[in-house]
Structure 1
Amino acid sequence: MNRRTPQIQFPSWLPVDPYVLLLVGTVVLATLLPATGAAAGAVGGVATGAVALLFFLYGARLSTREALDGLRHWRLHLTVLACTFAVFPLLGLAARGLVPYVLTPELYAGLLFLCLVPSTIQSSIAFTSVARGNVPAAICAGSFSSLVGIVATPLLAALLIGGTAGGFSGDSVLKIVSQLLVPFVAGRLSRRWVAGFLVRHRKLLGYVDRGSILLVVYTAFGHGVTEGIWHRVRPGALAALVAVEAVLLAVMLTVSWYGAKRLGFGRADRIAIQFAGSKKSLAAGLPMASVLFGAGAGTAVLPLMLFHQMQLMVCAVLAKRRSRDAEARAQDEPSPPPATAPAGSRAAPPAGRGG
């Protein structure tokens, strides 16, 4: 996958991801001009094919060498997986007590799904690099999380969300296998033949990735608009959702940072664990939501879209703070004492003079 996510600074401390702006524009377009009738069926079919293509490319791009190298740091990867697929879901289940007083049942289903989505790759690497953490570990941790999530996210959703997720039914497992897992495996098997093509056309395929996700968003929200999504989600409910997600992100940033310290990880590893263990992938979550929630995907992806932009803004500030801390620690470290010549030996000549 293309691991560089372009960002603009607006203002200097507040990153605004241009792709998020495109997502918002797609939601507005779906609200004003949703596909209906035969057009809706055609757009839905194209979106299904786009999701299959997306996961084929995911499988084809996964480097076997990178995955094997990551096994050397298995404790770190297990810690990130525990944050992503254990701590996050437990917090999501705890939020069930907020229904219906703070969250509506539909938004809670989306929040719980958010807690089951795998971690990011691109932004985790970028922020780990800015904070002077263990970048190779962040690369492997994000890749492992995405790979595990293809299986873990649908299984956890079936177990924890079940039939209450507006359109989530027993045949979702079959949909996951046919639309996500089969293309992913096909991509892995064909990597030896298509890897060169993927490298040569990396930029173009990046547009295919993001265009596919935009199509999924348009399809989900377009269907949601025809079903009255904006009549069910009031401004007060959205404000409550943002507040709950802010608390969720703060808890995960704290747990991943101090939990890694208790486990004995060094500072560079703790940075990688914090940024990989506290994030959720919009690129992986949106296609999965379209398959798992069907008609209810419009409401279900709202929490994930909000959390995605929130994690970018907060982690950008945090990464810069970690970088400044690293600079201060380097300046505070005492310089090593000058080497002294052993007794009876001649001292080295001053710099700039011949021997």
Structure 2
Amino acid sequence: MKLKFDGFIVALIAMIILAYIYPDLVQAQNGQLFETISTIGVSLIFFFYGLKLSFREIKDGLKNWKLHVCIQLFTFALFPLIILLFRPFIQNAIQEQFWLSFYFLAALPSTVSSSVVMVSIARGNVPAAIFNASISGLIGVLVTPLLMQSFIQFEEVSVLGDVYWGLIKEIIIPVILGLLLQPYLGKWASKYSKQLSKFDKAVILSIVYSSFAESFLSDVFHKVGTIYLSALFIAVIVFFFLVYGIVYLITLYVLKFNREDQITALFCGSKKSLTHGSVFSKFLFAGNPNLGLYFLPLMVFHAFQIFVVTIIAQRYANQYNEEILTKK
């Protein structure tokens, strides 16, 4: 079984190293340079996303409502509920930061492209995966700030005026424009999908750099220490397998999904979006020097979910191929 080398994960690590060595770059033009790149880049990401959406595939995916409801509940209810169970154990400010970084991860929507790709490799329900991955990000624009509102002190921004309006400007409006122009530019977006994917990743890398650079400038990571960071890595891995295991058991023994639907529920309901996380963090943690700290669990989770789910997807594909050969 061959595993594909993911250069994006290496690039993410490189951005953290660059932010550590040259954090002052984030202050170029009084901080406006990276802010402008982020705003324009994110808007273009979701505009291109709208161009690539297929109304037919979304319509086909609407039929399996039971699967859709379960995936969205896994994404926006199961994840946060697990993290909320640990809140009574918080005893100091460091533990509060640790918990909040995981709760931010838990409140985010599911991934889009990687979920669909993995479901396709594993021979799952691809139309349902496209529908859920697409709708999850739009639901997240409304739900994620609501989930975070009770645990964040919005000192410099208002939830309604700044957070929601910012997300609407940078996500919803570009997606709508993309959908409207899809009949004219959809083929162009499909033709250059690989190039557009590279553009998406470049924008995310710039956001990752600026987030960590600001945290390094404020000396956040020195304050928490290596024990904190080690515990974070272990907690992310445990969290992933806990969620994946719960989703697996529910879909197999409680809901009794068929093979295709179970694969789709597993891959779409156990993942979190780095793209949406990078956008949401700009508004939810505006002006917060701990932004890099809040971003770290999401980055580790993103890398780990790609690695593990790729292996699982390939195993499902091998099983499928063996079944086909047996039937012949």
TM over 0.5: yes
- Please state if 1:295 is matched with 2:295: no
Shift of 1:307: 0.5
Partner of 2:6: 17
The residue type equivalent to 1:87 in the other structure is L
Post-superposition CA distance 1:273-308 (Å, at most 9, x none): 111111111122212212221233222111100001
Q: 1:211 to 1:331 in 2, by over 3 A?
A: closer
2:94 & 2:264 partners in 1: Cα distance? 32
Q: 1:225 to 1:49 in 2, by over 3 A?
A: same
Number of residue-to-residue matches in the alignment:
321
Note the residue ranges of structure 1 that are not aligned, 5 or more in a row.
Answer: 1-11, 336-355
- Please state if 1:162 is matched with 2:156: no
Q: 1:196 to 1:122 in 2, by over 3 A?
A: closer
Shift of 1:212: 1.0
Match of 1:270 among 255, 262, 265: 262
2:37 & 2:314 partners in 1: Cα distance? 41
CA contact (8 A) 1:163 1:169 kept: no
Match of 1:234 among 225, 228, 251: 225
2:239 & 2:4 partners in 1: Cα distance? 20
Partner of 1:56: 47
Q: How large is the Cα RMSD of the aligned pairs?
A: 2.7
Structure with bigger helix share is 2
Shift of 1:270: 0.8
Partner of 1:252: 243
1:198 & 1:315 partners in 2: Cα distance? 27
How many percent identity over aligned positions? Answer: 31
Shift of 1:204: 2.5
1:61 & 1:330 partners in 2: Cα distance? 32
Match of 2:35 among 33, 36, 44: 44
The residue type equivalent to 2:16 in the other structure is V
- Could you state the TM-score of these two structures normalised by the residue count of structure 1? 0.81
More deviation, 32-41/75-84: 32-41
Shift of 1:327: 5.5
CA contact (8 A) 1:104 1:237 kept: no
- Could you state the TM-score of these two structures normalised by the residue count of structure 2? 0.87
1:314 & 1:100 partners in 2: Cα distance? 33
Post-superposition CA distance 1:250-286 (Å, at most 9, x none): 1211121121121131122111111111111112221
CA contact (8 A) 1:59 1:185 kept: yes
Match of 2:163 among 172, 182, 188: 172
Alignment of 1:105-124 (within 5 A): 105-124=96-115
- Please state if 1:76 is matched with 2:67: yes
Partner of 2:178: 187
Q: Which has the larger radius of gyration?
A: 1
Shift of 1:13: 6.5
Shift of 1:59: 2.6
CA contact (8 A) 2:75 2:270 kept: yes
CA contact (8 A) 2:37 2:203 kept: no
Partner of 1:218: 209
Shift of 1:231: 1.6
Shift of 1:102: 11
The residue type equivalent to 2:262 in the other structure is R
CA contact (8 A) 1:224 1:299 kept: yes
Shift of 1:169: 4.7
CA contact (8 A) 2:211 2:292 kept: yes
Q: 1:102 to 1:13 in 2, by over 3 A?
A: farther
Q: 1:318 to 1:167 in 2, by over 3 A?
A: farther
Shift of 1:326: 4.4
Alignment of 1:64-143 (within 5 A): 64-100=55-91, 104-143=95-134
- The secondary structure found in structure 1 opposite 2:123 is coil
2:36 & 2:312 partners in 1: Cα distance? 41
